[in-house]
Structure 1
Amino acid sequence: MTTGSAGPVPARPVKVTRQQVVRRLTRAAAHSDARLIAEAAALAEGWVVLADPMGGVVCSTPDTAGPEGVRAAAHPQLYPHLTIRSMAGAVLVVRPGAASPASRIDLIARTCVDLLRMRARVRREEDTHRTEQRLHAAVLHLLLSGQSHLATDVLRTSATHATVFRLAGQLVHAAYQSHWREVQPSVSPEAHRMLVCLEGGELVVIVLHGLDHDRHVARPLVARIAYRHQLAGGVSDPLPLDMVATAWAEAGTARHGARSGCLASATFLGSHGLLRVVPAERLALWSAAILKPLNREQRRTMEAYLRSGSAQAAAAVLDVSEGTVRARLRGIGTLLAAELDNPTVQAQLLLALRAPAPSRRVGTSARLGGPHPPLPTGLLDPDDAHRWASALLRPLDKPLRIALRCWLRHRGRTAPAASELGLSRSTLTNWLSKCGRTLSVDLSSATVRAELHLAAETLATPEDTPARLPRRGGRTYRGHQS
């Protein structure tokens, strides 16, 4: 048997349907522009070049076709035998093989252009996404460093308050990536705004809002994130923007006490919190009447003082001198006709600052402290106030309630409270720790201390005094284990 000298017979080209062309190009585009161009060249049985008329070859298959593709992109009228398609910033040049039908080449060119445009749009969105993430992280650091005026300038927002959420868990990175876009609300300067970023291994969400609206808009969404990804989260009270550092600490403390998949409030008071117990409009009207004489700067000064616990700490928050804070507090005390060093007055003022704004104007003023009940009758009648306080403090026995009340009257200072109780500091510290565990509250929170003080004073009787603690050995309470 002999073999002819013409060589092997070439294989017949495999017929490719339109659907297969589109499918193969789409799969290639999922990898890269270069893979898409290579697949297009294979389907065209020729060469394909993606060129930038100003910058040269972007990608080419084969590489040797690049120079001719650039020339064709620059002078298409000189290359009528090529298929040339222009798009924003680039030109696609296809040279078909001799056996490729014109209809297939047109389909390849149109599909490639559509896929390249889609990939360019995705890249732009990813670049915007990364830029926005960096912006959120930068604004978070501005807020934590006390530069709230710069933060609001960057965001162009009219928000005055912030609520901080801090979440942690094994899936925190997955939660961040999958929910970053989901938690983006309107970015209009008149609307609230949400900052979302990763910080120190935590997912951080900060809602910027006004005092009287959008306070809780993010909580259901963040709660779903925590549940879906089994993250433990803490949420702060709404605080002025220049006190975000305090809100940050509150949310962190709350997170440590949260279960996986749940959010824990910084106050831990739940249904016993006064903002839930007192009807909202009643609380709003009372608050507006109390705070009516004060301007915005005076309210900020007073809240910084009440939450930080001292004029010195408030001065650091407000970025003014301690003397300035003390002078402002004297003026505030005069305007309110109240003694700001009184712990009951402080608790009432902090409650007033936390209340929402009223829906109608307030024409009269209200009084603080004095011989009136710790919870004004305008908020709760005496029977309701007693029921609220009893439900809140019921888990405590009498010795713990006496010790807690004394400590709260000393505004959370252990040394003078221990001296009045006749206990060592370590004993009182242990008792207070037991109070916190029994009530499931964070005693470092100013909000918690304020509401516990009002409850303790509401229930107080002549028997609830340090002198009524039975003694053994002079300093240790008999029968009570610390």
Structure 2
Amino acid sequence: MTTSSAEPDSSEVGRYELMRRLVRAAAHSDARLIAEAAALANGWAVLVDLMGNAICSTPRAAGPEGVRAAAHPRPHPHLTVHRTTDAVLVVKSGPTTATARLDLITQTCVDLLLTQARAHRAEETLRAEQRLHGAALHLFLSGQAALALRILGLAGVTHATVCRLTGTAIQTAHQALWRAVQGAPRSLICLEGSDLVIVLLHGESPETRRILPRLSAIAERHQLTGGISGPVPVDMFAAAWAEAGAVRLNVGAGQLTSATGLGGNGLLEVIPAQHLSSWSAAVLQPLRRDQHRTLEAYLRSGSVQAAASTLDVSEGTVRARLRGISSALGVELDNATVQAQLLLAVRAPTAPIKTQSIARLVTHPPLPTELLSPDDAYEWASDVLQPLDATLRIALRYWLQHRGRTAPAASELSLSRSTLTEWLSKIGDALHLDLQSAAVRAELHLAVETIATPEDAARFLPRRGGRTYRNQRSF
């Protein structure tokens, strides 16, 4: 680049203006930087790579001499030669250029080239790491969790928590997310289709308390819709993937919702961990490992079809295993209370000492007394359901008894499906919960059955004209 007649002569450019011009040129390209250096030195400049090729030169005719000087500096004492990590800078100054000025030009150029080289290497490293994360995600999804952990170089990982975000700004959010979780080395971040995915890899106790507020902030800032699963064993990764995708279906832009649902009011927080672990181990003790995995996949997904996809087996195999599980546990798996109790059991932390005792599930009381006393259970359930009036509580109870199926619940309540769907939306808003989450539905079922009275029945709903309800309030 040469100076125009309107610009001051390069010999008159001050130190600050000289550095400013070089920085602006470097921000554009290496070629622009070399052209600016040549103009400021009133001579020429050449940038040569380590293989002896001219990367850029001003003017072009100076290229061969610059290449020779870069290879053998001693025969060219009239030239200034500086070697950087990735290239060699050769500058020839004009007769009026002071030595101090030339030194400032060449040193500034070298510093800028080194900075750009570091940034380029960092960018290449980042891209390689992101490709690695994408490959690891595909291994997790294909059931190769052990191989994924091996290529990530992670040890001591037994569980994963999956977060899936979607929206128009996922590319920008992707970069923000990389910066946000730099302090969490056991995490996987990548773009998968239209999803921005973060997988938190941890031991049995999830290490997510510092990360979740950052994820929520990013979802809000970039108006992303997101769902986050509960922690699952890494060999059940597909279940967590599906869970995170399902719970975000009814979430607005800028919101992140959790499949674990009740937060501080959740039973995993309310029940003492030791009691929950011991009870869970005793309940599940009769099951083999494959039966335990099948039961967890079925309960977390809510269907045989989804469980078969998660386990990569046929639906017939899942049904056969569920029959064996029902026999081993001595329970009817179609019972909503049994399902809710078993989902609580498979979500519980593992007992530190494997128990040899066996606990049989009972449906009354809905919350076993080994976990909470009747008074504590009633207090917990009342607190969870406090925002609901009797009408909505009865509707919720019947819907949960039918395991989240709207048509049979509406029929038993003598409601249209659209009316029940509207009521369920009001219930979700009142409780600030996503009713699509299997964990949320299970805990709400245990809560509503704990405080249920004989009057919490369809025949006690206030009616007028068969299907029209009176005294409705706006919720």
TM-score range, shorter chain: 0.7 to 0.9
Q: Within the alignment, does 1:128 sit opposite 2:121 as a pair?
A: no
How far 1:375 sits from its partner (Å)?
Answer: 0.8
Number of the residue aligned with 1:164: 162
Question: CA offsets, 1:367-418, max 9 Å, x none?
Answer: 2432642111222111111111122223334344334323322322344444
Number of the residue aligned with 2:385: 393
Instruction: Pick the aligned partner of 1:70 from 67, 70, 83.
Output: 67
Q: Is the 2:229–2:240 Cα contact (8 Å) retained in structure 1?
A: no
Q: What TM-score results when the alignment is normalised by the length of structure 1?
A: 0.81
Q: Within the alignment, does 1:60 sit opposite 2:53 as a pair?
A: no
Instruction: Pick the aligned partner of 1:243 from 207, 216, 239.
Output: 239
SS at match of 2:45: strand
Instruction: Pick the aligned partner of 2:434 from 436, 442, 446.
Output: 442
Q: What TM-score results when the alignment is normalised by the length of structure 2?
A: 0.82
Q: How does 1:2-401 map to 2 (within 5 A)?
A: 14=11, 21-54=18-51, 56-137=53-134, 139-140=136-137, 151-152=148-149, 154-157=151-154, 159-167=157-165, 173-185=171-183, 187=185, 192-197=186-191, 200=194, 203-226=196-219, 233-239=226-232, 240-253=236-249, 255-256=251-252, 260=254, 263-294=256-287, 296-358=289-351, 360-361=352-353, 363=355, 365=357, 367-370=359-362, 372-401=364-393
2:361 is aligned with what amino acid? G
Cα distance in 2 between the residues matched to 1:97 and 1:234: 65
Percent identity between matched residues is 57
Q: Within the alignment, does 1:402 sit opposite 2:394 as a pair?
A: yes
Cα distance in 2 between the residues matched to 1:31 and 1:207: 38
Q: Is the 1:180–1:196 Cα contact (8 Å) retained in structure 2?
A: no
Are the structure 2 counterparts of residues 112 and 399 from structure 1 closer, same or farther at C-alpha, using a change threshold of 3 Å?
closer
Number of the residue aligned with 1:4: none
Cα distance in 2 between the residues matched to 1:42 and 1:129: 36
SS at match of 1:461: coil
Query: Gaps (5+ residues) in structure 2?
Result: 1-7
How far 1:325 sits from its partner (Å)?
Answer: 1.8
Cα distance in 1 between the residues matched to 2:436 and 2:22: 61
How far 1:68 sits from its partner (Å)?
Answer: 1.3
Question: RMSD between aligned alpha carbons?
Answer: 3.6
SS at match of 1:339: coil
Cα distance in 1 between the residues matched to 2:25 and 2:78: 26
How far 1:196 sits from its partner (Å)?
Answer: 4.4
Are the structure 2 counterparts of residues 329 and 400 from structure 1 closer, same or farther at C-alpha, using a change threshold of 3 Å?
same
1:212 is aligned with what amino acid? S
Cα distance in 2 between the residues matched to 1:61 and 1:143: 52
Q: Is the 1:233–1:255 Cα contact (8 Å) retained in structure 2?
A: yes
Cα distance in 2 between the residues matched to 1:220 and 1:331: 42
Query: Once structures 1 and 2 are overlaid, which stretch shifts more, 439-448 or 143-152?
Result: 143-152
Query: Once structures 1 and 2 are overlaid, which stretch shifts more, 30-39 or 235-244?
Result: 235-244
Number of the residue aligned with 1:451: 443
Task: Give the total of aligned pairs.
Answer: 462
Cα distance in 2 between the residues matched to 1:318 and 1:153: 21
Query: Once structures 1 and 2 are overlaid, which stretch shifts more, 139-148 or 57-66?
Result: 139-148
